[in-house]
Amino acid sequence: MSDTTPTVEHLTKLANLELPTDEQAALAAEFRRIIDFVDALRSAEVGEAQPTSQVTELENVYRADTVEPSVHARTLVETAPHQQGTYFRAPAVFGGQP
Amino acid sequence: MNELVGLSIGSIRQRLVDCQLSTVELVDAYLSHISSQDRALGSFLHVDADGARAAARALDQRIQSGDDLPRLAGTVVAVKDNITVKGLPATAGSRILAGYDPPYDATVVARLRAAGVIIIGKTNLDEFAMGASTEQSAWHPTKNPRDPERVPGGSSGGSAAAVAAGMCTVALGSDTGGSIRQPAAFCGLVGVRPTYGSVSRYGLIAMASSMDVIGPLARSVADARQVLAAIAGYDPDDATTLPHVNLSARAGQTSLTGRRVGVPKEYVAGITDQEVRDSLSATVDRLGAAGAEVIEVSLPTTALAVPTYYVITPAEASSNLARYDGLRFGQPSDRTHGHGAASARLRGQLFGREPKRRITIGTFTLSAGYADRYYHAAQRVRTLIRQDFARVFDQVDLLLTPVAPTPAFPLGSVADPLAMYQQDIFLAAVSLAGLPAAAIPVPTSGQLPVGAQLIGRSGDDNLLLDVAEGLEQALPVSP
């Protein structure tokens, strides 16, 4: 791991995780060790190998554009902590107060 | 122990058909066994006594009215808590999903119900299936029924302990990097990871979507196979299921004569435990004695599998776990500070240590400037790993390897995350390649169970299970 690696503080902000300071420090130490471990990949001679992102080799899975029975929106919304009609109720996204 | 709780799928159905047993009687035997055993073991997060009894009464009525019985009639199934069962909690072992009651059955659960099974409850797991000991559940650890001082393995440790202790007939687990195979080995069971895409993931709470699969933990290959045949097949609700899946409920040619089995030399070189080494060589000897041709093969990328897995899995997990922001399911966020701050606080408070580690690692390996060096490099190595397997499967029908580096370890003895990741050394490559594999118990000189892993070609699950059953017959393992 190089000196320019982003800090865990920055990464947890990107990941939307607010951690107490002591946990942040412990995670930083573990993070360094895990990244050093996966750095073993740099020794791999990949040559011209193309990346594999999935193994089924299925492409462009389509279905007919028809309405079929499904779980009703209201039923799904009811599993949310806060809802209003068939909408999820969220805190304010911009600004401080809801 | 009531002998009813040890019955196989086939013998349960036969007794029901012959009216020697009622489903209610059977379910009550399991519930009573759970009451007396599970306080000490902690296999279940939720036992659905009322639902199981109601389903049992309904099945008994069908039997009395002379209906044809479905293939899995009366089979009592425990379901890992990262798989949705309508109306039962689904926490995935995490506090962030406390209070979530999913409004739908996973496809595998719907198919099992249609095949006549009774769902008895939800089982413990490492949080979001991240772990190899079930100690990283947010709720409580599960203990190994074979030795309660030891872990049952993980992440499907609750399912493994429930089957091994006779608290259900079979259980569903999920396997991303070994989470069915390793707990099966630690608890002396059969555990099968089917070919990726042969079983629907609809209703499975996602960890690493390109590797997550659902499969059975059972006391015999025959039971595991019956469950797999019932749950496998194309599902319009999961676009990654394969269009043609042929998974037979019945064994084909189980004779081992003429089967070509490869033993990868890199896996043998990776064995450090004497019991595991002895068990593997005893298994090789029995395969040979039963007429199989066992040859040494080479998988040169073996050492790269765990580092590759621990780049790809956190990358996928960090994306999958982004959805837990307090809006749609589970615990609500504190709403006084706006959505961004509220969800960051909720996630910081309610995710456990391992999910936070993986989210952070995944965020890093996918970030601009680092994705080429980590995520894309790992994807290229994943291609080499698949090519390695394809090459050896030109020479052999199946591969034989150990499952875990050691038998079940004592609770609390593996505290370091990197040491826990090493539990996957014989398992991760199979996951990256999407191949089917089965863990089955093999003879050991020690007191604790040891498993062997058979690995098949992609889509060749039937052959894999035939050979596993042949090996099971050739290797009587004392319970």
Domain range list for chain A: 1-43
pLDDT grade for A73, boundaries at 50, 70 and 90: confident
Amino acid at A13: K
Residue of A nearest to B370 (CA): A5
Radius of gyration of chain A (CA): 22
Three-class DSSP category at B471? helix
pLDDT number for residue A96 = 56
Q: What is the mean pLDDT of residues B28-36?
A: 98
Whether the per-residue pLDDT at B476 is higher than 90: the answer is no
**Average pLDDT, rounded, for chain B:** 96
Residues with Cβ within 8 Å of residue B345, at least 6 apart in sequence: A18, B333, B334, B337
Domain range list for chain B: 1-479
Angstroms from B418 CA to nearest CA on chain A: 7
Q: What is the mean pLDDT of residues B311-337?
A: 92
**DSSP class per residue in B109-126:** HHHHHHTT-EEEEEE--S
Each residue of B231-262: pLDDT tens digit?
A: 999 999 999 999 999 999 999 999 999 999 99
Angstroms from B453 CA to nearest CA on chain A: 21
Each residue of B53-99: pLDDT tens digit?
A: 999 999 999 999 998 999 999 999 999 999 999 999 999 999 999 99
Q: Tell me if B429 sits within 8 A of B302, measured CB to CB.
A: yes
**Phi, psi for residue B436 in degrees, rounded to 5:** -80, 145
Are residues A31 and B360, on separate chains, in Cβ contact within 8 Å? yes
DSSP-derived letter for residue B321 is: G
Q: What is the mean pLDDT of residues B333-343?
A: 86
Catalytic residues of B: 80, 155, 179
Distance CA B174, CA B144 (A): 18
Q: What is the mean pLDDT of residues B153-159?
A: 98
Are residues A42 and B356, on separate chains, in Cβ contact within 8 Å? no
pLDDT number for residue B174 = 98
pLDDT number for residue B264 = 98
Each residue of B413-452: pLDDT tens digit?
A: 999 999 999 999 999 999 999 999 999 999 999 999 999 9
Both tokens of residue B261?
A: 């089995």
Sign of the dihedral through C-alpha B295, B301, B307, B310: negative
Q: In chain B, positions 292-351, which contact chain A (CB-CB < 8 Å)?
A: 301, 303-304, 307-308, 310-311, 318, 322, 325-333, 335-345, 347-348, 351
Tell which of A2, A23, A55 to mutate to test the B interface (max B CBs under 10 Å). A55
Neighbours of B448 (CB within 10 A): 18
**Buried-exposed string A63-86: b where 16+ CB fall within 10 A, e elsewhere:** eeeeeeeeeeeeebbebbbbbeee
Q: What is the mean pLDDT of residues B257-286?
A: 97
Q: What ipTM does this complex have?
A: 0.94
Distance CA B84, CA B399 (A): 33
pLDDT number for residue A63 = 86
Q: Tell me if B93 sits within 8 A of B330, measured CB to CB.
A: no
Each residue of A4-40: pLDDT tens digit?
A: 778 999 999 999 999 988 999 999 999 999 999 999 9
Please give the share of chain A, as a percent, with pLDDT higher than 70: 92
Residues with Cβ within 8 Å of residue A11, at least 6 apart in sequence: A31, B360, B363, B364, B367
Neighboring chain B residues of A93 at a CB cutoff of 8 Å? 338-340
| Residues composing chain B | 479
Task: Tell me which H or E stretch contains A76.
Answer: helix A73-77
Q: Tell me if B325 sits within 8 A of B333, measured CB to CB.
A: yes
pLDDT number for residue A2 = 65
Choice among A92-96, B203-207, B246-250, B461-465 with the minimum mean pLDDT: A92-96
pLDDT grade for B467, boundaries at 50, 70 and 90: very high
pLDDT number for residue B479 = 53
Choice among A84-93, B6-15, B99-108, B219-228 with the minimum mean pLDDT: A84-93
Q: What is the mean pLDDT of residues B113-117?
A: 98
Whether the per-residue pLDDT at A97 is higher than 70: the answer is no
Q: What is the mean pLDDT of residues B283-307?
A: 97
Helix ranges (DSSP H) in B204-273: 221-231, 265-269
pLDDT number for residue B330 = 83
Angstroms from A17 CA to nearest CA on chain B: 5
Please give the share of chain B, as a percent, with pLDDT higher than 90: 95
pLDDT grade for B478, boundaries at 50, 70 and 90: low
Q: Tell me if A3 sits within 8 A of B330, measured CB to CB.
A: no
Options 1.10.510, 3.30.2000, 1.10.20, 1.20.1080; which CATH number does A1-43 get?
A: 1.10.20
| Domain B1-479 listed as CATH 3.30.360.10 | no
Sign of the dihedral through C-alpha B348, A14, B102, B176: negative
Q: What is the mean pLDDT of residues B112-137?
A: 98
Least CB–CB distance from B367: residue in A6, A56, A76: A6
Q: What is the mean pLDDT of residues B399-413?
A: 98
Whether the per-residue pLDDT at B143 is higher than 90: the answer is yes
**Phi, psi for residue B294 in degrees, rounded to 5:** -105, 125
pLDDT number for residue A98 = 43
**Phi, psi for residue B454 in degrees, rounded to 5:** -105, 135
Distance CA A38, CA B152 (A): 27
Residue of A nearest to B320 (CA): A15
Please give the share of chain A, as a percent, with pLDDT higher than 90: 60
pLDDT number for residue A95 = 67
**Buried-exposed string A24-43: b where 16+ CB fall within 10 A, e elsewhere:** beebeebbeebbebbbebee
